[in-house]
Amino acid sequence: MSHSGYNPYQQRTPTVVPASSFNPRADAEVLRKAMKGFGTDEKAIINVLSKRSNAQRLQIAVEFKTLYGKDLIKDLKSELSGNFENLVVAMMTPLPEFYAKELHDAMSGLGTDEDVLIEVLCTMSNNEIRVIRQAYHSIYYRPLEEDLKGDTSGTFKRLMVSLCNANRDESMMTDIHQAQADAQSLLTAGELRLGTDESTFNMILCQRNYAQLQLIFQQYAQICGHDIEEAIKSEFSGNSEDGFLGIVRSIRDRPGFFAKQLHNSISGMGTNDQQLIRLMVTRCEIDMADIKRAYESKYGESLKEAIKDDCSGDYEKCLLALIGEY
């Protein structure tokens, strides 16, 4: 047994960090002044909220209620509109609750937005998934797993239930012999048989730790002469293909994975603002500086340029502020 140096959680650079000389009462006063009387001072709202962490914003809301007997989110909603309002409300929502709402939105109504399920469940640690599950249950009085089961089917359903179970090995210990055996099992379950044994892919990709999976992917390429992604593409289709690829890609290059998600949200016809807001609000305190670098090297333009081309007004300014560009 050896301990691998690889860890997708290390060397991550956020663009929003907690304000060092934080005074929630002073911030609450600035926000109250920005919304009082005729007209709204959007710039003041952006300057305060984009330069505070999610936890600090929640403290400001408590202080606001204490000082003025008013709900800060309700006041913001009545003063702002459109995507800027949606962005600010997202910034003011506790992160577990925000993720729970995004998952619920993805599954409620006609059809399911599987991309949201993949983006959240395929990239989260066990603890993060457990916290989101708790938030989901406390808001909707239903287990997240039940809703996932009711809204997905087949291989993709089994993948979502496995990930929702939040029981991945997180030791980061590696074992080359086990990696060779797992690589062989994946080969036997896929390319060496007629039809695919999905359960083997599911078991290995949902249970092994990230460092061990890196090793399994290397062993697979050595045995087969081609990449694990090629195997997934040829053995699976639709949501299950996207789900398994999501796990592989987010393990190999997490900033690259999220850069691609961001690009999907702002390229093509129209903007998927809900996806853009979700990615901005959730990644700015984790690894947005890394995602910005990945975005520029992948797409030949900066994330700042992409946002400026696609968004406008206070919405654009606030998005740029979250990535440290305003």
In order, the DSSP letters of 224-260 are HSS-HHHHHHHH--HHHHHHHHHHHHHHH-HHHHHHH
Contact 282, 95 (CB under 8 A): yes
- If you average pLDDT over every residue of the chain, what do you get? 94
- In the chain, residues under CATH classification 1.10.220.10 are 24-80, 97-164, 173-252, 254-311
- In this prediction, residue 109 carries a pLDDT of 75
Tokens of 64: 């606001």
pLDDT at position 15 over 80: yes
Contact 262, 279 (CB under 8 A): yes
pLDDT at position 262 over 80: yes
Phi, psi of 139 (to 5 degrees): -85, -45
Q: Which CATH superfamily is domain 24-80 in?
A: Annexin (1.10.220.10)
Q: At the topology level of CATH, where does 254-311 sit?
A: Annexin V; domain 1 (1.10.220)
Average pLDDT over residues 301-316: 97
- In this prediction, residue 297 carries a pLDDT of 97
Contact 45, 77 (CB under 8 A): no
Q: Select 97-164's CATH number: 3.30.70.1350, 3.40.640.10, 3.40.630.30, 1.10.220.10.
A: 1.10.220.10
pLDDT one-digit tens code per residue, 109-151: 777 899 999 999 999 999 999 999 999 999 999 999 999 999 9
Contacts of residue 20, defined as CB under 8 A and 6 or more positions apart, other chains included, come to none
Phi, psi of 119 (to 5 degrees): -60, -35
Q: Which CATH superfamily is domain 173-252 in?
A: Annexin (1.10.220.10)
Work out the percent of the chain whose per-residue pLDDT is above 90.
90
Place of tokens 């304000």: 19
Count of C-beta atoms within a 10 Å radius of residue 74:
10
Q: Which of 148, 124, 104, 98 has its CA nearest to residue 278?
A: 98
Confidence label for 2 from pLDDT (cuts 50, 70 and 90): very low
